[in-house]
């Protein structure tokens, strides 16, 4: 009988477990025992910095420190726990990447509070999408913490109801569930690539008509369409995906409001690096000003005081769009044009002159009258056209962004550019 290959669901899998044996020793050993009882090999990477290790590890803390370019004695001499943890995190990342590149890592697991979760999740975020990543953390329910731990990757988070500080009927069950979860995840079959060219598509609920219409038509033409929900995290995931995946054939931006969100303190921001990787990589791009006359907050309680007298729409408890004024859309257009001007590949900009989203382009819609009175979208169009490079085509279409005539024009342009 031939020896099963790593990755075959019938063989033992290698699961890296990251924690600190000095503060989470019994809890870590509890998880390791369960994972090993389920037939998998545990590779323990110990980030302990306070005391001598409580049990043996495949990668003891002194080796982790060494991989970060120092030694454990020097790390323990650091007075700040945060600074010491950063060094150990750097060493853990080096080890995890080495294991993965050698084909010796099938999944990764972490547990703990703020320090342990930071230590483990940093290594998780260095692994490709699709590699099982599971983190049990006491801070999952803290505002902002989940996004910090997940970053732009597929880290699975489990909140710990009680602090992971001892074994009891609560933590035992939570850790058991988590150990079984990662053990099952590494046994999931690897999904084969379709072999089709990949079309990257950004959209939000305000441009769903455009997004889903384009998706259906491109799939009919033989593309595999990967949709990113550009509410902030979507754009943060979209950019590295474009950068790293060699099968991306083209990009269709159905919503670029993340740029304005970043400029004007909206919460649907992808940070300062949105609309960067496509132009840099030279991938064909079809762009639209989807929802560029708006930004969004979560609930009304998240709206800054400076915006209290503006026009809002409570779309749902986690999405409250705000209409931008002409000065703001002008700056958004200038910023988008500057980034698109860096493009090294084919690019075209299609503009729906009857509305950038379903809040502005449909008579009777929430922002219809206000936007028409302010002329914010008209200012965006004029500014974009005057700031784009002369060799970048701009096509204005007398339609709302979600109308079929606009959808058809986008698909035709995308198909032409990606040929």
In a domain, 353, yes or no: yes
Per-residue pLDDT reduced to its tens digit, 35-84: 999 999 999 999 999 878 778 999 999 999 999 999 999 999 998 888 99
Strand order in the sheet with 198-203: 224-229, 198-203, 248-253, 285-287, 347-352, 394-397
Pick the last residue of a domain from 135, 164, 185. 185
Q: How many domains does the chain have?
A: 2
pLDDT of residue 272: 95
CATH number, position 254 = 3.40.50.12030
In a domain, 354, yes or no: yes
Closest by CA to 35, choosing from 112, 97, 104, 109, is: 109
In a domain, 255, yes or no: yes
Same domain, 102 and 160: yes
Same domain, 100 and 202: no
In a domain, 66, yes or no: yes
Cα–Cα distance measured from residue 100 to residue 17, given in angstroms and rounded to the nearest whole number: 14
In a domain, 3, yes or no: no
* 320: pLDDT strictly greater than 60: yes
In a domain, 4, yes or no: no
The set of residues, in sequence order, having a beta carbon less than 8 Å from that of 392 and lying 6+ positions away, is 340, 341, 343, 347, 348, 349
Closest by CA to 86, choosing from 44, 115, 106, is: 115
- pLDDT band for 161, please (50, 70, 90 cuts): confident
> Residue 248 corresponds to which tokens in the numbers above?
């991306």
* 281: pLDDT strictly greater than 80: yes
In a domain, 157, yes or no: yes
Per-residue pLDDT reduced to its tens digit, 106-153: 999 999 998 999 999 999 999 999 999 999 999 887 777 788 889 889
pLDDT of residue 4: 37
Confirm if 302 and 267 have CB atoms less than 8 A apart: yes
* 93: pLDDT strictly greater than 50: yes
Same domain, 140 and 211: no
Closest by CA to 164, choosing from 16, 15, 14, 29, is: 29
Cα–Cα distance measured from residue 261 to residue 65, given in angstroms and rounded to the nearest whole number: 40
Same domain, 411 and 272: yes
**Run of H or E including 246:** none
pLDDT of residue 147: 83
Same domain, 256 and 113: no
* 6: pLDDT strictly greater than 70: no
Same domain, 86 and 163: yes
Beta strand 320-323 pairing with 294-297? antiparallel
Average pLDDT, the chain: 93
In a domain, 190, yes or no: no
Pick the last residue of a domain from 123, 154, 185. 185
Same domain, 68 and 212: no
Q: Which residues of 4-41 are buried (b: 16+ CB within 10 A; e: fewer)?
A: eeeeeeeeebbbbbbbbbbbbbebbbbbbebbeebebe
The set of residues, in sequence order, having a beta carbon less than 8 Å from that of 278 and lying 6+ positions away, is 242, 251, 285, 343, 345
Query: For residue 345, what are the domain limits?
Result: 198-418
CATH number, position 124 = 3.40.50.12020
């Amino acid at each position: 009988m031939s020896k099963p290959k790593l990755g075959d669901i019938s063989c033992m899998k290698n699961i890296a477990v990251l924690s600190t044996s000095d503060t989470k020793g019994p809890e870590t050993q509890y998880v390791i025992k369960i994972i090993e009882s389920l037939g998998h090999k545990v590779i323990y990477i110990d980030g302990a910095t306070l005391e001598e290790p409580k049990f043996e590890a495949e990668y003891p803390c002194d080796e982790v420190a060494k991989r970060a370019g120092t030694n454990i004695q020097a790390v323990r001499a650091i007075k700040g726990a945060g600074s010491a943890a950063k060094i150990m995190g750097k060493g853990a990342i080096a080890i995890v990447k080495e294991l993965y590149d050698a084909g010796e890592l099938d999944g990764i697991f972490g547990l703990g509070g703020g320090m342990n979760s930071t230590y483990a999740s940093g290594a998780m975020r260095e692994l490709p999408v699709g590699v099982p990543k599971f983190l049990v953390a006491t801070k999952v329910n803290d505002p902002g913490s989940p996004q910090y731990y997940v970053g732009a990757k597929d880290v699975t988070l489990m909140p710990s109801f009680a602090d992971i500080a001892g074994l009891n009927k609560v933590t035992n069950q939570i850790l058991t569930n988590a150990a079984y979860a990662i053990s099952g995840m590494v046994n999931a079959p690897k999904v084969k690539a379709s072999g089709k060219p990949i079309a990257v598509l950004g959209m939000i609920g305000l441009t769903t008509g455009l997004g889903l219409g384009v998706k259906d038509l491109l799939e009919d033409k033989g593309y595999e369409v990967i949709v990113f929900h550009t509410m902030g995290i979507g754009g943060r995931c979209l950019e590295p995906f474009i950068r790293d995946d060699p099968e991306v054939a083209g990009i269709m931006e159905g919503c670029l409001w993340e740029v304005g969100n970043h400029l004007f303190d909206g919460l649907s921001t992808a940070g300062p690096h949105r609309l960067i990787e496509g132009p840099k990589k030279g991938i064909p791009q079809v762009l639209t000003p989807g929802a560029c006359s708006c930004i969004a907050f979560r609930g009304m309680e998240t709206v800054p005081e400076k915006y209290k007298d503006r026009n809002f729409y409570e779309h749902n408890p986690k999405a409250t769009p705000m209409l931008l004024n002409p000065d703001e859309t002008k700056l958004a257009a200038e910023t988008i044009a500057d980034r698109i001007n860096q493009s090294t590949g084919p690019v075209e900009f299609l503009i729906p002159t009857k509305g950038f989203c379903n809040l502005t382009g449909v008579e009777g819609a929430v922002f219809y009258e206000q936007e028409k009175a302010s002329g914010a979208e008209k200012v965006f169009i004029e500014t974009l056209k005057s700031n784009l490079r002369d060799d970048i085509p701009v096509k204005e279409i007398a339609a709302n962004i979600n109308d079929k005539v606009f959808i058809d024009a986008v698909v035709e342009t995308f198909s032409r550019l990606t040929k």
